[in-house]
Amino acid sequence: MSTWQATMAALTALAAAVAGFAALSLAVDRHWEALHGRGSDPGPLRRRLQGGGSAGLLVSLLACIALKGSAQGWVAWAGMLTAGAFVVVLMSTYAPAKVPPLAKAMAGVALVAGLLAAL
Amino acid sequence: MKEGFRQSMAWLHTWSGLLVGWLLFLVFSAGTAAYFRDEITLWMKPELHAAAHASVPQTAALGHAQALLAQRAANANRWFITMPSEREPAVRASWMPAKKKDGAESKPRGRRRFESAELDPVTGAELSAPRATRGGDFFYRLHFDLHYMSPLWARWMVGIAAMFMLVAILSGIVTHKRIFKDFFTFRPAKGQRSWLDAHNVTAVLALPYHLMITFTGIVTLMFLYMPWGVQALYPSQDKFFTDLNNALPADAKPARQPAPLAPLAPMLAQASAAWEGAPVGRVTVNFPGDANATVLISRQSGRAIGYDQPTMLFNGVSGRPLSSSGAPGAATETRSVLYGLHIARFSNPLLRGLFFLSGLAGCAMVATGLLLWAVKERQKHAKALARGERHVGLRLVDGLNIGAIAGVPIAMAAFFWANRLLPATMPERPDAEIRWFFIAWGVAALIALARPSRRMWQLLLAVGGVLFALLPVLNAMTGGAHLGTAVAEGLWPVAGFDLVTLALGIALLFAARRLQRPAAVRKAPVTQVTAEAA
Amino acid sequence: MADTLRSSGWAYRGGVLVRAVAAIGGGYGVSALWAAAIATWLPAPKVEAALTGTLIALVVYPCAIMWCFAARSAVRAWVGLALVAILPVCALALHGGAA
């Protein structure tokens, strides 16, 4: 794997983790309410947020395994999850309104970087 | 504990964490620094920053090392050659000077005096003797051998602390009711609640890491803590280790008959070929120049997670292979992986960087736990304190917290500053640098105990922050490759050190600044409070 | 939670002490027994058996500690440990007898 591919794979892993956790955070009542007001409920959107969020974490795992192989890949994934979750915690605390755009932007980054890594 | 499982685990969590918290903060800090011990060592030897970085075939580097050893260590019992890698650009030749004839065979795990030389892998020239320093190895040793005490005592203390911590983590998981709902929750500037949130976040977000590092830490010294499995099957631990490591039996002796050492390069090539071209990591020559000479070659680490590397043993006179480590069994491989996860000598900087971040989270977890407890205790005595009474116990805990937490960055920075400011050729230099670590820490702790207060936190954090942030400047002004040169020449260990210390310094200053705001809990709207209490 | 316990005074402290001894000392003893028993009885090369026993003991120990504080009384803590110790003690005795 060339340095360029490796960098793109790592970027995919990180961006997908951030996007995934951002989506998952919005499925939690507290953080949804921070955006849409007390008492509001994501409703059917909750399932989709959870599904999409988990999918993001899975993409992150695949990128890590592609990057470091099957053993070190899991270790790298754990680290990426930690880093991604921290980003989302900071965002949710200090700029909660920016969490949905962050999720979308990071999903886009993950997609582009993933394609660049695969080519 | 009649109140139920969760509550009993909460009680256990608080006490097991608290009793060892101060020691654990040191262990976590030093251990996290140790992820980059080679890089730290290189930074602390500015004389080596000019080492050539062209990659050379391993046989050429080996040849230089062997030439030097034949010249300087002809009488030694053992030679060690460490091949250059991405983390250490020089090739290192070390040897154990020959023991006196009547000296008893030293215990395998005792400390011995090594001598070594660092060579430029391209030219073979000995790099201008770098200043004597323990470098990053100080932090590595500190986190389990502590210092100024026998390693045995230290390892038991650290092992007990690790077991307490493992219990704290497991009971913490049991007791954390809203682990998913509170996963992303952090509410700053709300006093005790904020400390609790910070503690939860730093603990949960890196939970797999914390579990892994604590358990694997115990595993690395498990033959000390839990020798009963080995003892049931082996008459002595030495025989067990011989079995485990495909090593020479501890009672192998030189024949006391001279015989020329066979050329090492073909052995190296043969080993590398047996491992599908993977580079060699270490070459150990037993009894060079003797008829009983043997050569043990191991593969370079950093490729797989497992710590154990395959090895090949050669006859030192004929050059023929004697044995190779076979396919490891399940338990051996498990131990190797667990060991490897803890030591983390991965060559890839990404993995080590992620581990480093998780280690910092671990430091934050321990620190916020200690502070949370102090805040809770303070609340219990709030009325008495408001009346102006002084509570000795609280003052002591506050002072110890400040000293144990804010003192560590100051101590580490002092170590680095001493490295550059102490004269390069002074006797007992490594010990002098280490002494400055402890002197700085002691002074900080004493001041903290004298006047434990919010201002003291600010002061000590700011001091640590300034000392750290100025390290890149110190580097440039005392003969190291400054940031611009290091980046331009790809000397990433040194550049990375400068950047990370700068970042840590800024973070410490930021923390000191945030403490400016008063600690009064902000008056939250009533509805919000009741909702959060639910 | 700790406040209600504190009101018990010396009874509380005594209970904690008994549990702590059980956890730290008794737990270690139980783990050591399991290490030796597994090493002795596991049908595998000596290195493998010794390592397996040791690794498993390191998992048994924290569980034993947690048990000692989760048990409904200090006496139960010790009883639980004793129960878990029966199997390895028998295993070791059998092996010692056979040898």
- pTM of the entire structure? 0.85
Contact state of A72 with B305 under an 8 Å Cβ cutoff:
yes
Contact state of B243 with C47 under an 8 Å Cβ cutoff:
yes
Closest CA to B210 of B176, B162, B249: B162
For residue B332, tell me if it sits in a domain. Answer: no
Q: What is the pLDDT of residue C8?
A: 61
Render pLDDT for C34-87 as a digit per residue (tens, 0 to 9): 999 999 999 999 999 999 999 999 999 999 999 999 999 889 999 999 999 999
Residue A85, min C-alpha distance to chain B (Å): 6
- Inter-residue contact B108 to B94 (CB < 8 Å): no
Residue C72, min C-alpha distance to chain B (Å): 6
Render pLDDT for C10-30 as a digit per residue (tens, 0 to 9): 888 888 899 999 999 999 999
CA–chain centroid gap for B297, Å, is 25
List CB contacts (< 8 A) between C80 and chain B. none
Chains C and B touch (3+ CB pairs under 8 A): yes
- Residue the block writes with tokens 């992150």: A60
Report helix, strand or coil for B315: strand
Q: How many CB atoms lie within 10 A of CB A111?
A: 15
For residue B512, tell me if it sits in a domain. Answer: yes
**DSSP code of residue B46:** G
Do B194 and B318 lie in one domain? The reply is no
- Name the residue type at position A96: P
Do B513 and B427 lie in one domain? The reply is yes
Rounded Cα distance, B203 and B223, in Å: 29
Do B411 and B306 lie in one domain? The reply is no
Question: Residue B358 is nearest to which of A30, A82, A88, comparing CB atoms?
Answer: A82
C61: contact with B, CB 8 A cutoff: yes
Closest CA to B1 of C28, C61, C20: C20
- Residue B445: both structure tokens together: 């702790």
**Residue of chain B with shortest Cα separation from C16:** B1
Contact state of C1 with B11 under an 8 Å Cβ cutoff:
yes
Question: Residue B170 is nearest to which of C33, C40, C66, comparing CB atoms?
Answer: C66
Do B64 and B39 lie in one domain? The reply is no
For residue B89, tell me if it sits in a domain. Answer: yes
- What residues of chain B, 160 to 179, have a C-beta less than 8 Å from chain C? 163, 166-167, 170-171, 174
A1: contact with B, CB 8 A cutoff: no
Rounded Cα distance, B165 and B152, in Å: 20
For residue B489, tell me if it sits in a domain. Answer: yes
Q: What is the pLDDT of residue A18?
A: 96
Give the domain range for residue B145: 5-44+138-220+353-532
Do B360 and B385 lie in one domain? The reply is yes
For residue B239, tell me if it sits in a domain. Answer: no
Do B465 and B376 lie in one domain? The reply is yes
- Residue B335: both structure tokens together: 């131990």
For residue B344, tell me if it sits in a domain. Answer: no
| Domains in chain B, number | 2
Rounded Cα distance, B243 and B222, in Å: 17
Residue A51, min C-alpha distance to chain B (Å): 15
Do B494 and B424 lie in one domain? The reply is yes
For residue B485, tell me if it sits in a domain. Answer: yes
Question: Residue B357 is nearest to which of A21, A71, A82, comparing CB atoms?
Answer: A82
- Name the residue type at position B73: A
- Please spell the DSSP secondary structure of B120-169, one letter per residue: -TTT-PBPP-PPP--TTHHHHHHHHH-SSS-HHHHHHHHHHHHHHHHHHH
List CB contacts (< 8 A) between A31 and chain B. 184
Render pLDDT for B346-402 as a digit per residue (tens, 0 to 9): 767 888 899 999 999 999 999 999 999 888 888 888 877 777 777 788 888 899 999
Do B71 and B39 lie in one domain? The reply is no
Do B122 and B267 lie in one domain? The reply is yes
Rounded Cα distance, B496 and B488, in Å: 13
- Name the residue type at position B132: A
B230: contact with C, CB 8 A cutoff: yes
Q: What is the pLDDT of residue B220?
A: 95
For chain A, report the end-to-end CA distance as a whole number of angstroms. Answer: 11
Q: How many CB atoms lie within 10 A of CB B252?
A: 12
List CB contacts (< 8 A) between B2 and chain C. 72
Maximum CA extent, chain A:
50
For residue B234, tell me if it sits in a domain. Answer: no
Closest CA to B83 of B48, B118, B132, B54: B118
Q: What is the pLDDT of residue B520?
A: 45
| A33-37, B513-517, C86-90, range with the lowest pLDDT | B513-517
Do B196 and B92 lie in one domain? The reply is no
A80: contact with B, CB 8 A cutoff: yes
SS3 assignment for B272-283:
HHHCCCCCEEEE
Render pLDDT for B265-297 as a digit per residue (tens, 0 to 9): 889 988 888 888 888 888 888 888 888 888 888
Do B407 and B318 lie in one domain? The reply is no
H/E element, B207: helix B207-220
Do B252 and B369 lie in one domain? The reply is no
* Beta-sheet pairing, B78-82 with B91-96: antiparallel
Rounded Cα distance, B448 and B438, in Å: 15
